[in-house]
Chain A
Amino acid sequence: MKERIKKLREQSLSIKPYVTPERAKLITEFYKSDAADKVSSPVRRALAFKYLLENKVVCISENELIVGERGPAPRATPTYPEITAHSLEDLRILNTRKKTSFAVDAETKKLYEEEIIPFWKGKAIRDKIFGEMPEEWKAAYEAGVFTEFMEQRAPGHTVLDDKIYKKGFIDFKKDIERSIENLDSSNDPEAAKKNEELKAMEICTDALIMYAERHAEKARELAKKEKNPEKRKGLERIAENCSRVPARTPRDFWEALQYYWFVHLGVIIELNTWDSFNPGRLDQHLYPFYKKGLEEGTLTREKATELLQAFWIKFNNQPAPPKVGVTAEESATYTDFALINTGGIKQDGSDAVNELSYLILDVVEEMRILQPSSMVQISKKTPDAFLKRALKIIKTGFGQPSVFNTDAIVQELVRQGKSVEDARNGGASGCVETGAFGKENYNLTGYFNLTKVFEITLNNGVDPRTGKEIGLKTGDASSFKSFEDLFEAFKKQLNYFVDIKVKGNDVIERLYAEYLPSPFLSLLIDDCIAKGKDYHDGGARYNTSYIMGVGLGTLTDVLTSVKYNVFDEKKVSMQDLLKVLENNFEADEPLRQRFLNKTPKYGNDDDYTDEIMRSIFEAYYSAVRGRPNTKGGFYEINLLPTTVHIYFGKVVGATPDGRKASEPLSEGISPVQGADRKGPTAVIKSASKMDHVRTGGTLLNQKFTPHLLADEDGIDKLAHLIRSYFKLDGHHIQLNVVSADMLRDAQKNPGKYRDLIVRVAGYSDYFVDIAVDLQDEIIKRTEHKSF
C-alpha cells in the first residue's frame, strides 16, 4: 500500500462519525425560500438538489485521487429532515449511545432547536407516515410484528449498471429533451405530469455537472498554491477529471471512477436512500478502461490498484446516516450496504471473471475496511481459482467477500419476469437482495416477525407481552385437535398481518411519490426517462416490493417442538405449555432442557423438522408473493435479518423451542444458534429444502474455525462445500472464520481488535462496534470443529 493510501485509510479509520448540520440547514433554507413555492413537487426536489450542490462545502483532502464528500469533510454525516426531523432527544441519544454513535455538537443542537425542528415538525415524511397509518398498523408496528423501512430512510435498494460509462450527463440531458419532445399532450392525460418530472431530471443533470465543476475550480485553486510539482500535477489532473465527468463520457480508468463517485454522491445527497447506492458489477464496467489503459501504456496494474484503493476509501468516508428507534435496532451499523459485485456471468451467458476481478479482490484484502462491502458471484462456469482466491481472503477472518450463486440469482430474476439479459447483468446488493441492476426498483419495505405472529396465534390474537388484542381470534390453542389445525390458525394470522403491512406500504409508497420524488435517482434507472416517471412512481422497468421474513429457524424449531412434544409424543399438554411459556420456564427448567436437547431441530438434515420449515416457507410465500404494489409491480419475499432478529427477539416471550423471553431469534435461514449439531453439510441440506429460486435472496450464515481452513486441502473442501450448496440452488452462504476464544478476547480487549471485522448477517461490521448481545450471539453460533 502506498504512503498516500495509508494516510487516507488511517484518516478514514480514525475520525469518529459525526453529524453535520450542513444539509439540514441548506434544505431548510431552500424550502423556506420563494424558489420552493409555486413549482411542482419533482421540480421542487430538483431545485432543492441544485441548491444543495451549489452551496455545500467542496472538500478535497490531501493525498486524494478521487474527490467529493457527502458532507463538508470525511465522516461528516448529514441529516435529512424532510424524511426524519430528529428531535433533541434523538440527537442526545445519537451522541451518547454506546454503539454506532454520532458526535453532535452544540451548534447543531441549537440549529435543530431553533430552525430545523420548528420548520419540519409535521411536514417530515416520518410524521406524515405515522399520521396516516391506521390503528391496526400502529398496534402491529408497536408490538414488533413488522418494521417499516421508509420511516427514516427513502426507498433506494437499487444499483447502477454500465450506462454511465457509455454516456455523459450531456447525453442524458439529450435523452430527457427527446422524451419531453415525444410527449403527446393531446392524447396522454399524464403528459403535463411527465413534463414536470422530466424538467426536474434535466435540472438535476445540470446540477451534478455544476457540482463537479466546483471541484475542478477548487482543485485548480489548490494547484496554484501547491509548491510540490508532483502534487501540483496531481491536482491539475483532478481538475481535468472533474471538468470532463460527469458531463461527458470517461476516457480512462481514473475518469470512470471519478464519474461513478459523483453519481454516487448525487444519489446519497438527494435522499438517504436505503443501501446507499452501488456501482454493481465493477469488474465488468471498468474492464474496458483497464484493458485499454494497459494496452496504450497509460495505466499500470499498480496505478489501477492505487486508484481502486482511493475509491474504496471514499465509501468508507460515508457512514450510514444516523438512525434512531426501531430503525436503529433493525440496522445497527455504520455500513451503508454498498456491495461491490465481482465475477458472475456476462450478458451472453459466458463466464465474466477477468483480470480486474482478481485485482479487486487484492484491493479488498489489502484495504480491510468496512465499506464498501464486496462479494463474489460464483456461477457453474466460474473458475475454481477465483472462488479459492476469495476463500483465501475470507480465511483471514475478515468477513469479506461474501459468496453468491449467480445461477440462482439469474433464475430468481427470470422467474420474477425479467429478461434473461437483464438478469445476467444483475446481481445481489445490500445484504443479499437480488436485483436487475440499473433497471429495477427492488424496495425492501420492512422485516416481518414470523415468530411473533405464531406467538399471537398461540394466544388467540392477544400479544402476551402487553395483553392487547392485536390479531385475529383464531381460536383457543388448547382447543386444537391436531397440529394441522394449529398451523391453519397460524396461516390466517399471518395473512391478516401481511394485509396490514401491505395496506400501510400502499400509503407510504404514494407519500414518497407525491412529496419526495427523486428526479436525480430517476435519471439513472431505466426506464424513468423514457416513461417520464419518477423512480418512486413506477418509472423503473421493474418494480418489486419485498417483505423480509425473519426467524425462520426459530419458528421451525418452535412449531417442531409443539408438534413433537404436544401432539406426537404428548410430553406436555397445550394448556401446561402455555403456562410454562407465560412463566418463562421459571419453574420448569427440565422441560426447557427437553425442548432444547430432546426435540428435533432444524439444521440437522432431519425431514421431520425440515418439512415444517418448508410449510412455513410456503405459507409465507403464498401470503406475500404476487400482491400488486402501487408502482405496477409485485410483492416478493426474501429471508434476511440485518440485525433485526435481536430486536424481534426482545418482543417475543419464551418459546416452545426452549428459548427464553427476549433472547434473539435465529437469523436469515440459518438454524437457531447452536441447534445444528451435524456439521455444515447437514445445515446446507436442511437449508436447501426450501425453494430459493422463489425468493429474492436468502442468508445462510456458517461460522468456521480457522483450523478447518488451515491448508490448501481445507480450502479445496470448502470450495466443494459451497459448490454443492449452489448446485442445490442455495442463494448465498456467508462464512465467518474466527475462533470463539478470539472473539471473547475481543470483547474484553476491544482496543486490540479495532480492525476485527465479522460478518453479522448479510453484511460485515467491526466486532467491537456491535452491541454486546449481538457479540454474544456471534460467539454462540455453532463452531464446526475439525473432525
Chain B
Amino acid sequence: MAKGIIFDIKRYAIHDGPGIRTTIFLKGCSLRCQWCQNPEGQETNPEIILRSSRCARECNECVSACPQDAISKDGNSIEIDKAKCDLCAKCEEVCVYEALEIVGREVTVQELLAEIEKDRIFFDESGGGITFSGGEPLMHVDFLEALLKEIGKKNIHVTLDTSGYVSFEDLSRIYDKVDLFLYDLKIMDDEKHEKYTGVSNKLILENLRKLTELGKSVAVRIPLISGINDDNQSIHMFVDFLQSLKSIKQINLLSYHRGGCEKYKRLRKEGSPITFQSPSDERIEDIKKIFTDSGFSVKTGG
C-alpha cells in the first residue's frame, strides 16, 4: 500500500478552493523559492523543528531521552546534530513544552480518508471538499493516485494546488480525478525564474498549456513579491501568456507575507532567508485592474 508524507492538515480552510475545505499538505518540493512560505514542505523526509521561545531553561528531558546523543543544550539554546539524529521522535514525546516537534509523518490512504470524512457535513453544505497542497503533492504521485481513487468513490470535490514542476506523465495519472487545479505561476522570465526558484519554468508553462488544452478547470495563483514580479512588464508577461491559453478565467493574487521567516528559524535551515517585501495595497489594486481589464476574474488574498 502506497504511503505519503504529510506535514499538516488544516480544517476550515476557506481560501483553497470553493466552499469549506480540508487542506492536506504533502511534504517535498523540487522548487526552492526564496520567498517560500512553507519551508517545512520543501524536504520530502520528516524534519525536526525547534521553537526556542517555548523551551524551558531548567528542563533537560530531550537530552537524556535521545538514544543517539544528538542533542546538546546550553540554557535554552538547543543544538541538534542532524548527522546523528535518526528522527526517532523520543525527544518530541518527552518535550512537554512542545518546543521540539517532528514535522512530517507517514500516512496511509485509509488514515487520510478517515480524516477527510470528519468534515464531510461541511463540504456537503458549502460545496467544499479536499485540497492537496504542499510542498508539491505530486512528489507523492503513487500515494496521491491511490487516495484520489478512493475519494472519487465518495463524490468529494478535489482541488490540487501544484507548482506544475512535474512530469506530464505524473499529471496524467491524476488529472481526471481532480476537479480544480490551483496552478502556481511565479515569474515568466525563465532566467529570473531559475534564479529565484532554482528551476526553469519551461516545464511548468508547458504543463499548464497541456492541462488547459485538455479542458481542465484551472485557476492560476500568482504570489506577488515586491521588486521581483510586480512590475508592469512582469504582469503584462503573465497576461500575454495566460490570454494565449484561452481557457484560463480565474486568477488569484496572493500577496507575499513574512510568515515563512519564523519557520526557517525553527527548521534551523542553513543561511537566513532573504526577506522580501509585499507590494502595497495600492499596487495590488493596480495589478488587479490590469488583469481585470484583460478579461480575467481576479480574487486577491487567500
Which chain A residues have a beta carbon within 8 Å of chain B's beta carbons?
589-591, 593-594, 596-598, 605, 678-682, 685, 708, 710-711, 713-714, 716-717, 720-721, 723-724, 727-728, 784, 786-787
Contact = CB atoms under 8 A, between A and B. Distances in A.
B293 interface: no
A681 B59 contact: no
Interface centre among B15, B93, B299 (most CB of A within 10 A): B15
A598 B118 contact: no
Interface in B61-93: 61, 93
B98 A597 contact: yes
A787 B301 contact: no
Interface string B85-129: 000000001001110000000000000000000110110011010
Given A721-B20, A787-B12, A681 B96 contact: no
A784 B12 contact: yes
A3 B118 CA distance: 53
A405 to B, nearest CB: 14
B119 A681 contact: yes
A682 B125 CA distance: 15
Interface centre among A605, A685, A717, A721 (most CB of B within 10 A): A717
B149 interface: no
B119 A720 contact: no
B20 A681 contact: yes
10 contacts: A679-B11, A682-B11, A685-B118, A708-B14, A716-B126, A723-B125, A724-B126, A727-B125, A784-B12, A787-B14
Contact of B14 (A682, A717, A727): A717
A786 B15 CA distance: 8
Interface in B1-59: 10-16, 19-20, 23, 56, 59
Interface of B: 10-16, 19-20, 23, 56, 59, 61, 93, 96-98, 118-119, 121-122, 125-126, 128, 299, 301-302
A590 B301 contact: no
A403 B109 CA distance: 38
Given A597-B98, A681-B122, A724-B125, A717 B11 contact: no
Contacts of A682: 11, 118
Nearest to A599: B96
A56 B50 CA distance: 70
Contact of B12 (A597, A710, A721): A721
Given A720-B19, A787-B23, A593 B97 contact: yes
Contacts of B56: 589-590, 593
A720 B96 contact: no
Nearest to A685: B118
Given A710-B301, A720-B20, A787-B10, A727 B97 contact: no
Contacts, number: 74
Contacts of A786: 14-15
A572 to B, nearest CB: 12
Given A681-B20, A728-B121, A597 B10 contact: no
Interface centre among A594, A605, A681, A786 (most CB of B within 10 A): A681
Nearest to A688: B121
B12 A679 contact: yes
Nearest to B300: A711
B122 A724 contact: yes
A600 to B, nearest CB: 14
A714 B118 contact: no
A682 B119 CA distance: 8
Given A589-B56, A680-B12, A724-B20, 19 more contacts: A590-B59, A590-B61, A591-B96, A593-B96, A679-B11, A681-B11, A681-B118, A681-B122, A685-B119, A708-B14, A717-B126, A720-B126, A721-B20, A721-B126, A724-B126, A728-B121, A786-B14, A787-B13, A787-B16
A464 to B, nearest CB: 25
A562 B12 CA distance: 31
B11 A678 contact: yes
Contact of A594 (B10, B13, B96, B121): B96
Contacts of A680: 12
B10 A679 contact: yes
A594 B92 CA distance: 12
Contacts of A596: 96
B282 to A, nearest CB: 18
Nearest to B97: A593
A717 B11 CA distance: 13
Contacts of B61: 590
Contacts of A589: 56
Contacts of B12: 679-681, 717, 721, 784, 787
B125 A717 contact: no
Given A679-B11, A714-B14, A605 B118 contact: yes
Nearest to B16: A787
Contacts of B20: 681, 717, 720-721, 724
Contact of A727 (B10, B118, B119, B121): B121
Nearest to A682: B11
Contacts of A591: 96
Contacts of B16: 787
A175 B212 CA distance: 77
A104 B12 CA distance: 51
A700 to B, nearest CB: 15
A721 B125 CA distance: 8
Contacts of B96: 590-591, 593-594, 596-598
A721 B122 contact: yes
A685 to B, nearest CB: 6
B14 A713 contact: yes
A786 B255 CA distance: 14
Contacts of B118: 605, 681-682, 685
A589 B57 CA distance: 12
Contacts of B19: 717, 720
Nearest to B61: A590
Top 10 A-B pairs ranked by shortest CB distance? A720-B126, A593-B96, A679-B12, A594-B96, A724-B125, A717-B14, A787-B10, A679-B11, A787-B13, A681-B11
A728 B14 CA distance: 21
B235 to A, nearest CB: 22
Contacts of A721: 12, 20, 122, 126
A728 B121 CA distance: 9
Contacts of A710: 301
Nearest to A720: B126
A603 to B, nearest CB: 12
Nearest to A711: B301
Contacts of A708: 14
A727 B93 CA distance: 38
A704 to B, nearest CB: 10
A593 to B, nearest CB: 4
A716 B128 CA distance: 12
Contacts of A679: 10-12
A681 B14 CA distance: 11
Contacts of B11: 678-679, 681-682
Interface centre among A724, A784, A786 (most CB of B within 10 A): A724
A720 B301 contact: no
A676 to B, nearest CB: 11
Contacts of A605: 118
A590 B55 CA distance: 11
A596 B98 CA distance: 10
A182 B11 CA distance: 64
Interface centre among B10, B61, B118, B125 (most CB of A within 10 A): B125
A349 B23 CA distance: 39
A407 B129 CA distance: 26
B60 to A, nearest CB: 11
Contacts of B126: 716-717, 720-721, 724
